[in-house]
Amino acid sequence: MSSTEPNWASPPGATIARVMKTREIDSAEFAEAVGLKAQEFEALLQGKLRLSEKLAEALAYQLGSTARFWLARDKDYMKELARLGDAEIIGVDQWAQSMPVASMRRFGWLPADSRTKAVRNQALLSFFDCKNIQEWGQRYSSGVGAVAFRTSLAFASDGNATLVWLRAGEAQLASLASAQFDRGEFERILPMLKRVSAFKHPATMLSRLREACDPVGVSITTARAPDGCRASGASWFDAKGRPVIHLSFRHLSEDHFWFTFFHEAAHIILHGQNHIDGESVDVMGGDTEAQENEANAFAQNILLPDDIRQDLMSKQALNAKSIMQAAKAAKVTAGVIVGQLERARVIQHGRLSYLKHRYRWGKNSFVPDLIAS
């Protein structure tokens, strides 16, 4: 530890107490105003109660600033606890309650007999490959250790559900034998990878995608998103500097899967950083609007090159026949083209959706099944 770093951690409760004292706010009235029982409020002041998004909004309303400020204050406190090795102060039970346990049991990521608190807590630690809560705090509160996910992880709100989804991807890496990353070769083969969309069944499609990406040092992982996780895809670099693309099959359609894959590939090629993308997701933070726009444009141009797009737009009527012709020229499926036209708001969502391959989750929580047309 650096001599300039403090050997203590200040919880959000310290800030709350200071503001309350300055404004002469009664504790009982304030606890009721933010929806906490007296015991819960005392735990909040002592740093033993994590901030939820709802509580952060209540604090912002009662004390000022923003919910984002209070969540960031809470996150910074957790990082300091992890640095000091004091993560046990949170309590293992409370930590476990913040996890998407029901989803994890349903997916088979936790054993069915993990109903008692002790068994559940140990099963959760095993899922994260940690011996105790302190190790988890040190590894995951400050950058997710070796895989170095973005350190702006917002554990309150849906952050832990997203972290579980990321861990489901990380855990697969040991079984994937990727070569050293060859950026130039990966960029060269990317446009050809869209041809893999011709394989209807997700398991076959994923197998072929991995066969193409493994030799250039890019690992492809997938997992179903637990309840509370709205992520579509993520990309990061492992401890050996090899990129990982992790996909959730969100929306269970081929067009969304392929757009997300190429969007994450764009982050690797163009930005070389760790990213997470999804609807209303600001869990990992740090992505600038310019980078997102660049990744979107990159994916769109691969899936539907501009010359084919312009030729398609010039037709008098956009129908199944013209879309299938464009798909043949672009070397992707018609469903992917439909998705691109929907994104561009050229056609209404649902109008030609019957051309898409769609999926549903079955027993396998990592790869969905094809819905037969």
> What is the tens place of the pLDDT at every residue in 331-342?
999 999 999 999
Question: In the predicted model, is pLDDT for residue 134 greater than 90?
Answer: no
Question: In the predicted model, is pLDDT for residue 88 greater than 80?
Answer: no
Say what the pLDDT of residue 351 is.
86
Kindly provide the residue ranges of all beta strands, DSSP E only, lying in 18-62, ordered along the sequence. Answer: none
| Structure confidence at residue 147 as a pLDDT band (50, 70, 90) | very low
User: How far apart are alpha carbons 313 and 346 in whole angstroms?
Assistant: 9
Q: pTM of the prediction?
A: 0.76
pLDDT tens profile 235-283: 888 878 899 999 999 999 999 999 999 999 999 999 887 776 665 444 3
Say what the pLDDT of residue 84 is.
58
Question: In the predicted model, is pLDDT for residue 16 greater than 50?
Answer: yes
Burial class (CB in 10 A: 0-12, 13-18, 19+), 324: middle
| Structure confidence at residue 146 as a pLDDT band (50, 70, 90) | very low
3-state secondary structure 164-200: HHHHHHHCCHHHCCCCCCCHHHHHHHHHHHHHHHHCC
Say what the pLDDT of residue 263 is.
94
Say what the pLDDT of residue 279 is.
58
Helix (H) or strand (E) segment spanning residue 370? strand 369-370
Question: In the predicted model, is pLDDT for residue 33 greater than 60?
Answer: yes
Say what the pLDDT of residue 86 is.
52
Please give the CATH superfamily to which domain 1-84 belongs: lambda repressor-like DNA-binding domains (1.10.260.40)
Mean pLDDT of 337-352: 89
Question: In the predicted model, is pLDDT for residue 173 greater than 80?
Answer: yes
| Structure confidence at residue 96 as a pLDDT band (50, 70, 90) | confident
Question: In the predicted model, is pLDDT for residue 29 greater than 60?
Answer: yes
Helix (H) or strand (E) segment spanning residue 222? strand 219-222
Query: Hey, what are 172's tokens?
Result: 């697969």
DSSP 296-344: HHHHHHHHS-HHHHHHHHTSS---HHHHHHHHHHHTS-HHHHHHHHHHT
Question: In the predicted model, is pLDDT for residue 304 greater than 70?
Answer: yes
Comparing 133 with 213, the larger pLDDT belongs to 213
Range from 12-26, 35-49, 141-155 carrying the lowest mean pLDDT = 141-155
Q: Where in the chain is the domain with CATH 1.10.260.40?
A: 1-84
CB atoms within 10 A of CB 46: 13
